[in-house]
Amino acid sequence: MCGIVGYVGEKQAAPVLLDGLEKLEYRGYDSAGLAVLDGKNNINIARAKGKLCELFKKTDGGKALEGVCGIGHTRWATHGEPSENNAHPHFNDDKTIAAVHNGIIENYAELKGKLSRQGYEFYSETDTEVATKLVDYYYKKHGDPVRAIANFVLRVRGSYALAVLFKDYPDQIFAVRKDSPMIIGVAGGEAFIASDVPAILKYTKSVYYVANTEIAHVEKGKVTFYNLDKEVVEKDLTEITWNAQSAEKDGYEHFMLKEMHEQPRVVKDTVNGLIKDGKIDFSDFGLSDKDIAKVKHITVVACGSAYHAGVAAQYVLEELARIPVRVELSSEFRYRNPVADKNCLVIVISQSGETADSLAALREAKKLKMKTLAIVNVLGSSIAREADGVLYTKAGPEIAVATTKAYSSQLIAGYALALKFATVRNTITQERYKELLSELSTLPEKIECILKQKESIQHFASEAANKKNVFFIGRGVDYAVCIEGSLKLKEISYVHSEAYAAGELKHGPISLIEDGTLVIGVLMQENLIEKTLSNLVETKSRGAYIAAVTCGDDKKVENVADVKITVPYTDGLFAASLAVIPLQLFAYYLSVLKGNDVDKPRNLAKSVTVE
């Protein structure tokens, strides 16, 4: 949802900013822009509609904008269509202030009205231009950037990460955020602002996490933070453990392909991070055995694929720990006035840790005095900081918009929670516990083995290239995989698909099955294979073309399926970790065949920081 960058140092700013924006392009890619202070007290701006390469061309790789201090932006349109005019940065009327913004200013219409009455004119449809002119208004009133921004914060409603250049302050950037991510990195005589770590990993791993409404004054190699009363706030630097290479494609054609191939390692790292002395241990994540014993219900809140990981966790948790689990979309939970329950643990799952709805759901749970646990991938993200406890998945930076490795690591966190709750609640035998723990450690190798057969999935994708509608059906954990497989297909290949619990098909959607409709059945649960198989037969009788993802050599499956995709055997509870791999590959190859932009699918952005 828009990415912002800033740089001040010894180098030419524009190429560094473009490089950072390239790493953030997953956050928005309908237009981009740069503003650079040229050392002669001018702020020069370049903006371009379309992907970042357009801005790159327009500025000759940044050479056209001289200066060592600047800000940049890649946009995912909220207010106003994608166009050069609406692209950031935006200027004040006399071009002495320029700003980039990520988020939404909710009261922008009211503020625009007030500023218009003060004589301000507007050239774009954006809330960011309003934000820039509001800062200008307060700057002209107080003559001080920090005070101007503090007044801006007091006046606006909504979410924002804002970086501002003032002509009067060469080689300095002023920034603030509220509910939109922002980090500031320092290295020697340089300082960097970014919406996310990958943008600056190449330059530094020492970062400050900017807290809500803190104002940063960024100079060469130095950052000073202020609160709204202009008192200095002391902050500690955090060292990032991700390596710079993890934000590069590393020879793969797409980040998504690379990230799918990282899944064996990511799953292994996540499992290893959860086991201490041969047992699952949650004591480092703010969830002691005593805390767990008090929990009577669990509510998982999340969006998109993270929600799907929650659905898989629900089946495993209820099966192993015999505890009631409810999984809710964050966007629903936050507004449905949930009943406060002090015995309920609310688990928020989020790769980015910045998803606006999930952050709001977390706050709602905290307001209701429920204990909260975050399962998050990005260190120091808002959800991680605000939850009572946090379990970090070990996926490393995920750049492709469609999640793969982060989803896989979220699944592992869910299994580990289930095993932990089961031991504390005494609902699992030692034997079964050990069996599952040992099965968990075999998953990376099994995922690797599926990835090695990727050509067969590529072939299947080429056969399915003309399908207009695809159905995914399964039961139990297999159903949880289906909803994820269906989402992957929709988002990157733009093929219409639906996922249904296999038993539900005949209650309506079966009327959509016609000659040649592709139905993909996930058949990983030994006790449910026959049931799902009969649902597949029902669709086959109506002309469907059947593909089955399964782990056995069951002849019954072969008799029904036109295409059989076999993955290694695993316990049914962990089936999602294996069955999802061919579904990810299928969506990927279909997207490639269609010539889509796999890593940056249309209309989407990775970190959804607006509701």
- Residue identified by tokens 């207010």 is 79
d(CA 134, CA 90): 12
Question: Is the Cβ–Cβ distance between 31 and 90 less than 8 Å?
Answer: no
Residue whose structure tokens are 């590529």: 458
Kindly state the helix (H) or strand (E) to which residue 392 belongs, with its residue range.
Answer: strand 389-392
SS3 content of the chain, % helix, strand, coil (to 5): 40, 25, 35
Collapsed DSSP state (helix, strand, coil) of residue 377: coil
Closest approach of ligand F6R to the CB of residue 347, in Å: 13
Nearer to ligand F6R, 378 or 575 (CB): 378
Q: What's at 84, amino acid-wise?
A: E
Alpha-carbon torsion (473, 475, 476, 478), positive or negative: negative
26 or 108: whose CB is closer to ligand F6R?
26
Identify any residues that bridge with 190 across adjacent strands, giving them in sequence order: 187
- Minimum Å gap between C-beta 317 and ligand F6R is 19
**Residue 470: Cβ-neighbour burial (10 angstroms; 0-12, 13-18, 19+):** buried
Please compute, for residue 79, the number of CA atoms within 13 A of its CA located in the half-sphere on the CB side: 18
State in angstroms the smallest separation of the CB of 451 from ligand F6R: 18
**SS3 of 136-184:** HHHHHHHCCHHHHHHHHHHHCCEEEEEEEEECCCCCCEEEEEEECCCEE
DSSP class of 514: -
**Does residue 23 have an active-site annotation?**
no
Residue nearest to ligand F6R (CB): 304
Q: How far apart are the first and last CA of the chain?
A: 11
Residue 374 β-bridge partners: 348, 390
Tell me which H or E stretch contains 559.
helix 555-560
User: Please, which residue, 436 or 583, has the CB nearer to ligand F6R?
Assistant: 583
Q: How far is CA 74 from CA 71, 80, 87, 171, in A?
A: 11, 15, 8, 22
What's the gap between Cα 354 and its chain centre?
8
Residue 19 or residue 196: which is nearer to ligand F6R going by CB?
196
Q: Which is nearer to ligand F6R, 199 or 306 (CB)?
A: 306
Rg of the chain taking only CA atoms, in angstroms? 25
Considering 2, 69, 482, 551, which one is annotated as catalytic? 2
Q: How far is the CB of 359 from ligand F6R (least distance, A)?
A: 9
Q: How far is the CB of 409 from ligand F6R (least distance, A)?
A: 11
Residue number, 292 or 399, with CB nearest to ligand F6R: 399
Asked whether 230 and 150 are in contact (CB, 8 A), the reply is yes
- Residue 128 main-chain phi, psi, to 5 deg: -70, -35
Distance, C-alpha 249 to centroid of its chain: 18
Is 269 or 354 the residue whose CB approaches ligand F6R more closely?
354
Hey, how many other C-beta atoms are within 10 angstroms of the C-beta on 447? 26
Name residue 294's amino acid: K
Length of the chain (residues):
611
In the complex, minimum distance from the CB of residue 605 to ligand F6R, in angstroms, rounded to a whole number: 9
Residue (211 or 604) nearer to ligand F6R, CB: 604
Unique residue bearing structure tokens 């191939």: 261
Catalytic annotation on 2?
A: yes
Minimum distance between the CB of residue 604 and ligand F6R, rounded to whole angstroms? 8
How near is the Cβ of 177 to ligand F6R at its closest, in Å? 17
By beta-carbon proximity to ligand F6R, the closer residue of 97 and 384 is 384
Q: Which residues bind ligand F6R (CB under 6 A)?
A: 303-306, 350-352, 355, 358, 402-403, 487, 491, 607-608
CB-based contact 341:367 (threshold 8 Å): no
- 28 or 145: whose CB is closer to ligand F6R? 28
DSSP letter (8 states) at residue 65: S
Cβ atoms 127, 105 nearer than 8 A = yes
β-pairing, 545-550 with 563-566? parallel
Active site residues: 2, 606
